[in-house]
A = this chain, B = another copy of it.
């Protein structure tokens, strides 16, 4: 068989053959026009192709793995299929190059409907074990890798998957649990807490709220936030905070680890000993008491479940 990095046999036969380690990490994500991206011009197609890989890169990073090979399925409107295929693939390949990912195969079909892109991505574990959602421990610090909220203004298309960051982080420490923020901090933190049988309190003042979330841009006005029957913060008085909790598609890493290791890691970043390409923030603590709580203006609120509905 031919030998091209991790791809033993690439595009051109009935299937590809990829070189794998005994435990291969695999994720798949589907993006639909009008739901996950909008097509206006060539650049919007590039960005859609970029995003189709980027969301999978974020999933692979969130397992504690490095990405390896991608498979791209395209469903294109027949009026503009060839041009759209080129633009989408170009956007994907540019990002693939940044992360040494090989495009090993795929499928292309035409129809009269909107554009649909599916990417399947494989990866190899960085450490011997994956970093799961279900293994957070009481006392852990909760850390995020970037500022949150308002991604609809552009970050949902242009975000930097935290693949390089997680490789460096795992050189220094072992994390207890991890996911990436795709549905919103509140929702994704719950996806760690529930399977781990633990709870948490996060501190509103510690959450890195993005400048986009603070912009008051009219495009964000349509977003509504869940409320709790037992009382929630007044979201209308602090929409940027609500955006950081509920908007989703931030694609930042969200992980937990012992407090001393978290502070050590952040010291390394702040003193420029450790260049992750992003900052890290401790936003709260994992606790034995189940449920997700928010410390806000010296009160503790039960955070209602919710997340961005595409």
> Which chain B residues border A130 with CB–CB below 8 Å?
1, 9, 13, 17
A291: CB under 8 A from chain B?
no
Q: Give the top 7 A-B pairs by smallest Cβ distance, nearest first.
A: A15-B27, A20-B20, A118-B118, A30-B73, A120-B120, A14-B62, A14-B59
Give CA–CA (A116, B134) in the complex, Å: 31
Cβ of A37 to closest chain B Cβ, rounded Å: 12
* Cross-chain contact A73 with B13 (CB below 8 angstroms): no
Interface hits, A13-71 → B, CB 8 Å: 13-32, 34-36, 59-60, 62-63, 65, 69, 71
| Chain A contact residues: helix, strand, loop or mixed | strand
> Which chain B residues border A195 with CB–CB below 8 Å?
12
Q: Report copies per complex.
A: 2
Q: Contacts A23-B1, A120-B120 hold; do A109 and B32 have CB atoms under 8 A apart?
A: yes
- Residue contacts A-B, CB under 8 angstroms, 27 given: A1-B130, A9-B130, A12-B134, A13-B130, A14-B60, A15-B60, A15-B63, A15-B123, A17-B23, A19-B22, A19-B23, A20-B21, A24-B24, A26-B105, A26-B120, A28-B71, A29-B107, A30-B74, A30-B118, A32-B75, A32-B111, A34-B112, A35-B111, A36-B109, A71-B120, A107-B118, A120-B120
> Which chain B residues border A75 with CB–CB below 8 Å?
30, 32, 116
* Cross-chain contact B15 with A65 (CB below 8 angstroms): yes
Q: Which residue of B18, B34, B59 is within 8 Å of A24 (Cβ)?
A: B18
Cβ of A25 to closest chain B Cβ, rounded Å: 5
A133: CB under 8 A from chain B?
yes
A217: CB under 8 A from chain B?
no
Range of interface residues on chain A?
A: 35 or more
A230: CB under 8 A from chain B?
no
Which one of A13, A118, A178 has the highest number of Cβ atoms from chain B below 10 Å of its Cβ?
A: A13
> Which chain B residues border A19 with CB–CB below 8 Å?
22-24
Give CA–CA (A27, B129) in the complex, Å: 26
Cβ of A178 to closest chain B Cβ, rounded Å: 8
Cβ of A227 to closest chain B Cβ, rounded Å: 23
* Cross-chain contact B34 with A25 (CB below 8 angstroms): no
* Cross-chain contact B28 with A17 (CB below 8 angstroms): no
A114: CB under 8 A from chain B?
yes
> Which chain B residues border A310 with CB–CB below 8 Å?
109-110
